[in-house]
Structure 1
């Protein structure tokens, strides 16, 4: 009887794995992010070279992990995180008028010390969305000392006909957003860059309607990447939007914009245990982005609580976000 029971469990495990995979390929060909071309003010000193120093350790060095093993590659081959980041970051900064060379190396000033850059995938069953969490965390040397710059993006898509359908929304777009967010924070922290008033108004005009759907969330992120205080009011309004990804982009952008006056609102969103986890997670991410002593202390308390609590997926995923900042 024991052997039979064990055999059935083994067969069940194989069946679940097959259902989750649902013909998933062993690797995915992803696009190199297209630069945003946001116009703004702020410039790096002449002959500036940013050196990406890879300080990732242990599991952080595995770029693509999760319930479905799947490597990520570009036309040049498997993604090498520091090289991929250096090339795409340089292109994004240049498109904003910041002409800094970005290279990989062991030493250099200013340095971008890479702590985390990876994509975690998850799927509950063969009928649920394929979800990715993209994490990026680094320290950048600035005139006022080292500053933590981060990104966290959550996306999901149910593959209907094939797994090729998930590449754009759950891989290409998050990688592009992660690079753009990092570039925005580096541009602001190191070079005082912000988008021009005309650029901010152009984005605001695209987001005037409350009937936003489809890829409108990309415009919400772009508004957050403007580093402009003029974007804050509309971003805060959109944190209550009915479309999930518009709402998540807005919640994330509150912190990206450094809207410290919204700390109370973000705490309320995060502490609503009846809300969806993604909203709470993005609010916590945004609290980290505020970068104040109060926000850091709040994260320290929350990390201790999650690490000493249960071992649920929520606990693991939430703690991973907090560690991007501590």
Structure 2
């Protein structure tokens, strides 16, 4: 035999020299959850190791993460039910929990990057990402609300806004609103290919944001489709997106690869709550090595072509790198 691939696997040094992909802390954005109150640090039962934080304890958590090398965060707000309405008006309240949290984080940590969430569902009494009228999700009317949200977040200090709603035309509308108001430097990371997945459950537990009726299949993508992702990517690019995201990540590695092969924009992938929870649950049962599974999953997302990975594992992975 003239070719023996095992020669390049025979020692750790050689394996490291020929390794094709590497993970660093520059690859990650850590999602964090915010609640009202003081001194709150409440573990989410369906996401072991992940907490809801009040703003004061969130600042402490971010400080510990920054010391580990985490430089980017994606905050999500858990809004009290009494503040939710059909038009999600709390979403752009300058004194609301979410906008206040953005201001406080940027005031205390001006060098971290904040990627914010632009979607109605955490603030909507209907639990949907758009305005609901007679059982239908209204697309164009929803864009006005999304524009107000994005502007309020930019004014508070957001570096990147992340429209996660999947309404048609939202990237272009948000880009116009931001530019007209002088926020040309604020980027847009579009949730380009966001699928109607079964893996969102723990996230909805964290925010209490599940739809009150129906499902999200008229706006989130059909899990059977891949070519449709190219249509969404072309539209988002044309409308001014700075990054394209695939969500979820683990069940859609082919979509990450598809967008990587067909776009020159940075590709992000969201390693979502259900994917995280499965690893944690199996590890707690002793069925898998949780740390090794974490590394393998994150590497698979990177290998598929993701430049940026949103993951609840970011802090744990940072600690793993320091061993």
Report the structure, 1 or 2, having the larger helix content: 1
Structure with the bigger RCO (C-alpha within 8 Å, sep 6+) is 2
Q: Return the TM-score normalized by structure 2.
A: 0.31
Q: Return the TM-score normalized by structure 1.
A: 0.31
